[in-house]
Structure formats: C-alpha cells, structure tokens
Amino acid sequence: MNIERQEIEKLATLARIAIDESTITEVAERLGSVLELVDQLQAADTSSLDGVSSGMQATQRLREDEVTEINQREALQATAPDTEEGLFLVPKVIE
Amino acid sequence: MHNLTIAELIKGLQSKEFTSVELTQHFLARIAALNSGYNAVITITADQALKAAAAADQRLAAGNAPALCGVPMLHKDIFCTNGVRTSCGSKMLDNFIPPYNATVVDNFEQAGAVVLGKTNMDEFAMGSSNETSFYGPVKNPWATDCVPGGSSGGSAAAVAARLAPGATATDTGGSIRQPAALCGITGLKPTYGRVSRWGMIAFASSLDQGGPMARTAEDCAIMLSCMASYDDKDSTCVDREVPDYSATLGKPIKGLRIGVPTEYFSEGLNPGTEQAVRAALAEFEAQGAELVEISLPNTGLSVPAYYVIAPAEASANLSRFDGVRYGYRCEDPKDLTDLYSRTRAEGFGEEVQRRILIGTYCLSAGYYDAYYGKAQQVRELIKQDFVTAFEKVDVIMGPTCPSPAFKFGSKGDDPVAMYLEDIYTIATNLAGLPGMSVPCGMVDDKPVGLQIIGNYFDEARMLNVAHQYQQATEWHSLAPEGITAPDGITATERAS
C-alpha cells in the first residue's frame, strides 16, 4: 500500500515526531507494509455484530470523590528536565 | 544453588540450609560473571539486595517469614521501582528514576523477595526479539547468535541462564509466552485484570498484563499468588479473590478436555515444533486427558486487528513522553513544537516511532471507522471464537510460536515478518484470556514451547495441568550448554 509523502508529513506533525527528509521514503515504505497487513480486516464479515463493539465488556468502577493522593510535587519534579519554583519550564510560548 | 527452583529455595531457606545473604551473593556473583555474555540484566541493585537479604534472614530466624522471604528475583525494567532507574528499554527513560513502586513491586517486597536488579527488554515492550532495546539485544543462552524472543527477553534469558530463579514480565501480544518458549522456561500471562498494571509503564492498556517467568509451573504458581492482587489504583484490576495457586497443583488431570485448534497447526509452523507439540499432547492423553479438535476461525485476523488496536493505544499512551515532565529532552529547543518533535524523534527508537505513526494514522479523521472501529469488531469475533470453544473444552493447547529461536537480524527490514512471530499468542490478549508457555521439546538444540490457553480466571487449572506435565517430563529442567548442572550433565546430554 502506497502512502504519499504529504501523508507522512501530516502524521509526523500529528504525532509530534520530527522525521528527517532523507528517511521519509523508507518510513513510508515500512508503514505501507504494515497497513497492507491491517487492511486484511476490511474483508472480515462483522455483520453479526451490533455497531462498534468495544471487545471488552468491563465497566468502569466508580469511587467516592475524595482526595486520596498525597502531594509529592518535589519528588515528582525531581525527575523533570527543567523546573523553577515548582513549575515545569518549557521554551517561551508567547511571541 | 542456582539450579534449585523457587520452591526448593524456599525450603532451603526455611530449614536453614543456606541464608538469603549467601543466596543473594551467589546470584549476584553469577550475574557479575555471566551477564556480559547475555546482556539480560541492565541494572544491578547489589547493595539494596544484600540489605534486603539481611533483613529477610532476620525474619526467617524469627520464624515469621512471608511466602517468598529471602528469595532473589529480577524485575522487568517496565515496572517502576522507587529510587531505581526504570528505563523501559528506551533512551527516552534512560535517566528516569521513579519516586514510587509499581503495585507488583510492592507485592514482592511485602512477600520478602530480594530484588537483584532490572532486566533488559524491547523498547516500550514493542518487539519479539529484544533487538529494539536501547541497551542492545539480549542473547539467547541456548544459542548466543539467536534472539531470546521479546519483549520480556531479558527476564527469560536471565531465568534460563540461572541468573535468577524467577523474574517478572509483561505480555501485550505474547511478550511473556514467546520469550519463555524461545528460552526454554515457563511463563504465564494471566487473565486481563488479574495483576495490577499500576506503575507498569503502559504500552497498550487494554492488552497489557504482568505475569511471572520461572523454570517450573510450580514456581510460577508461587510467584502469581504474590503478584496477583486487587488494586484500587488500577481501575481495570478485577476485585476477585486470589486463590492459592500452589494448593491445586497436585490434582490428577484425568478427564481433562483439551481443545486443539486446527488453525494453530497450519502453514508456517516448523515441522520440528509441530512434532514436539504433538508429542506433548500425546503425553496428556496418556495421563487420561481427552483431545478435542476445535476451530478458532478468526485466528488469521488477530495479527491485523492487533496492529491497529495496540499502536492506536500506544500512540495515546506514549504522548506523555514529551520532554517536559520526565525523561529525555532534546538540546536547545527553539520553540515548544520543536521541543516535542525533536525530543520524541531523538528519544524513541525506530519501531516505537513506527507504531506511534501507525496508531496516529488509524485514529485520524477519515480512517477511524475503517481501521479502529473495524478492528474492535474483529476483536469481538475473536473473543466469541474462544467463548464458543470453551463451552466444549477446559483448556486449549498448541504451539507458543511458529519456530524456535531465530538468528539476529534474520527477520530483515520488513516489520511484518517480525509481527507474524506472535500469530499464536496475540488472540488471547485480544480476548483478555490467560495463556502460558511450557517447555515441551528441543529442535536443533533450541527449546520449543507448548502454549496452554485457559478460560477467564482459570489460572489455577492451567498451572495444575502444566505441573502434571512437568512431573512426567524433563524438558523444563534442561539447562543451556555451558551452564552445567551440579551433576555435570549438560542440556544436550540430558536430552539424549
């Protein structure tokens, strides 16, 4: 299955993964091979099923709306690449 | 001491034949001496292990020791360990030191187990050969030019090489069973929801499940009794009593109905593997079990459905790795988008990037119904196949994977060739069923695994069945060449 170069660029933007120009053809080829595999699904007869099935019948558990987590800001921020005064630092967003 | 099973080690510790400190020193020495040949262990926690062993010895002396008190083991590097690097096999988390333990890690700590270190794995558990690890591939102790399987290849190789008597692992599409088969050990993927996923780094949340790897079913039973628990912190964890899996191992299996799916013995199965699996089935028949031919007609659709659902979930789960809160961050980002995009391009390996892109594609506008919606419907068909089969049989058996361990690089550049390695294991993840792999033979001096698939929450029966098989056969006690048993007999000699 062929995927256009533009399609790969769009996916790279959506997934926030920078793809080097020189590898786009290779990436497209390998993605195409996987999509060819998953396209076998289209031939499956699913008419016996009602609408979209989740495959999982489990329902989500509910709990009381109570605070159960303790504040671990310092411990959790200790692993961050860059913090200041309890905040995560990123490059300036506003021009 | 390294050839003893967990059950034997527990007895030895309780009868004071050896201490936990002696045992821990012994295994640490083996890791120091042998691990460079396998690359199975990527973090060694010697100081912590020796401290835990000393504490275990005190509890053993006081006579109030819990189940696994003083027994050394390893954790797959996907389980968060407080204060100890948890990399998930990725450059992205090469510097990540979690401030908390996974529930599974806590469970073993409370049971008194001694953690020797963390095992290598395919990056973010995406792979069937351990070739995608940032830390380099793990080598199969039976043939070091061959893969150990994946993604739990480090855990499997470590147990096979007697670097630890047991290890934790995880299975999303076969990641416990396939490496267990390729390394000649016993591994069990429990029913979805049996073991807490809290603190286990997520790949595909509706498929991921943690489980034990050890040399025998008896040891897997001991480990699973500790590993399985109800956990409020995992909303998909099932609130159901954990049986004592060791208590029912001895039940005779006369009258057991074993389903043999036609689709698991089709084209692509190695003739030697088939022969070994058929011989195992004959052994069960000899013990009074009945073989029933069954059909799982949608087996062929399981790999395509998996490669929509798993990447879709992965693309969402792995969006958290963005260089802001933890893990790798690229140098000198020029703006926020550049920070995200380059961090992820530099931090993730090729296979992980590919799966994120596939997932993004399948979930994107215009493709969602055709791919994700359809895959979920096919998942339901696959599940119904099993439900129908289990109306007639107690367990299902077949090969764990199509052939024994393959050589590094032999699956080439086409990702699909690697994906087909999990053709017999993926369906149980899609259905949420438990599955295990048990050594059942040797082909070209490499181990073959028998897969046992059970009904929902029927792990006790599967372990019982596997244990009865291991009481009558020797395959599980073979050791790889070079790792000679105390009686001086090597694996090949014993097999002949």
B 323-342 residues with CB below 8 A of A?
323-329, 333-342
Cβ atoms of B217 and B249 closer than 8 Å: yes
Question: How many Cβ atoms sit within 10 Å of the Cβ of residue B293?
Answer: 10
ipTM, 2 decimals? 0.93
How far, in whole angstroms, is CA B440 from its chain's centroid? 17
Q: How many domains does chain A have?
A: 1
Bigger pLDDT: A1 vs B78? B78
Structure confidence by residue, pLDDT tens digits, A48-62: 886 555 545 567 778
pLDDT-derived band at B477, boundaries 50, 70, 90: very high
Structure confidence by residue, pLDDT tens digits, B104-162: 999 999 999 999 999 999 999 999 999 999 999 999 999 999 999 999 999 999 999 99
pLDDT-derived band at A47, boundaries 50, 70, 90: confident
Q: Look at residue B207 and tell me whether its pLDDT is greater than 50.
A: yes
Q: How many domains does chain B have?
A: 1
Q: What is the DSSP letter of B203?
A: S
Distance CA B34, CA B157 (A): 11
Distance from CA of A39 to the nearest CA of B (A): 7
Has residue B407 been placed in a domain? yes
Question: What tokens were used for B261?
Answer: 């799916």
Q: What is the pLDDT of residue B413?
A: 76
Q: What is the pLDDT of residue B162?
A: 96
Has residue B202 been placed in a domain? yes
Has residue B319 been placed in a domain? no
Has residue A93 been placed in a domain? no
Q: Of the candidates B65, B68, B98, B331, which has an alpha carbon nearest to the alpha carbon of residue B198?
A: B98
Q: What is the pLDDT of residue A60?
A: 74
Q: What is the pLDDT of residue B463?
A: 98
Structure confidence by residue, pLDDT tens digits, B252-269: 999 999 999 999 998 889
Q: What is the mean pLDDT of residues A6-28?
A: 94
Cβ atoms of B204 and B125 closer than 8 Å: no
Which residues of chain B lie closer than 8 angstroms to A16, CB-CB? 319, 322, 337, 340-341, 344
Q: Of the candidates B123, B246, B122, B220, which has an alpha carbon nearest to the alpha carbon of residue B168?
A: B220
Which residues fall within 8 angstroms of residue B453, CB to CB, at 6 or more apart?
A: B386, B395, B396, B397, B398, B428, B433, B434, B435
Has residue A33 been placed in a domain? yes
HSE-CB of B258 using CA atoms within 13 angstroms: 25
Has residue A11 been placed in a domain? yes
Distance CA B368, CA B363 (A): 5
Q: Look at residue A80 and tell me whether its pLDDT is greater than 50.
A: yes
Structure confidence by residue, pLDDT tens digits, B417-429: 889 889 999 999 9
Q: What is the pLDDT of residue B495?
A: 47
Which residues fall within 8 angstroms of residue B117, CB to CB, at 6 or more apart?
A: B31, B41, B42, B43, B44, B45, B46, B49, B74, B75
A37 contacts B303? CB cut-off 8 A:
yes
Which residues of chain A lie closer than 8 angstroms to B323, CB-CB? 81
Q: Which helix (H) or strand (E) holds B315?
A: helix B302-317
Structure confidence by residue, pLDDT tens digits, B208-244: 999 999 999 999 999 999 999 999 999 999 999 999 9
Please, what is the average pLDDT of chain B? 95
Has residue B76 been placed in a domain? yes
Give me the domain span that covers residue B458. Answer: 6-299+380-495
A–B interface: beta-carbon pairs under 8 A: 160
Lowest model confidence (mean pLDDT) among B276-285, B344-353, B486-495: B486-495
Cβ atoms of B125 and B134 closer than 8 Å: no
Has residue B354 been placed in a domain? no
Q: Is residue A54 reached through a cis peptide bond, with omega within 30 degrees of 0 on the bond before it?
A: no
Whether B151 is a known active-site residue: answer yes
Give me the domain span that covers residue A28. Answer: 5-42
End-to-end, the C-alpha distance of chain A in Å comes to 42
Bigger pLDDT: B483 vs B19? B19
Structure confidence by residue, pLDDT tens digits, B422-464: 999 999 999 999 999 999 999 999 999 999 999 999 999 999 9
Has residue B336 been placed in a domain? no
Q: Look at residue B493 and tell me whether its pLDDT is greater than 80.
A: no
Q: Which of B129, B155, B175, B315 is catalytic?
A: B175
User: In this structure, what are the phi and psi dihedrals at residue B307, rounded to the nearest 5 degrees?
Assistant: -80, 10
Q: What is the mean pLDDT of residues A7-26?
A: 94
Distance CA B425, CA B435 (A): 8
Q: What is the pLDDT of residue A54?
A: 53
Distance from CA of A17 to the nearest CA of B (A): 4
pLDDT-derived band at B17, boundaries 50, 70, 90: very high
Has residue A19 been placed in a domain? yes
Q: Look at residue B368 and tell me whether its pLDDT is greater than 80.
A: yes
Has residue A34 been placed in a domain? yes
Place of tokens 């450059």: B91
- To the nearest whole percent, how much of chain B has pLDDT over 90? 92
Q: What is the pLDDT of residue A53?
A: 54
Please indicate if any CB of chain B lies within 8 Å of the CB of A87: no
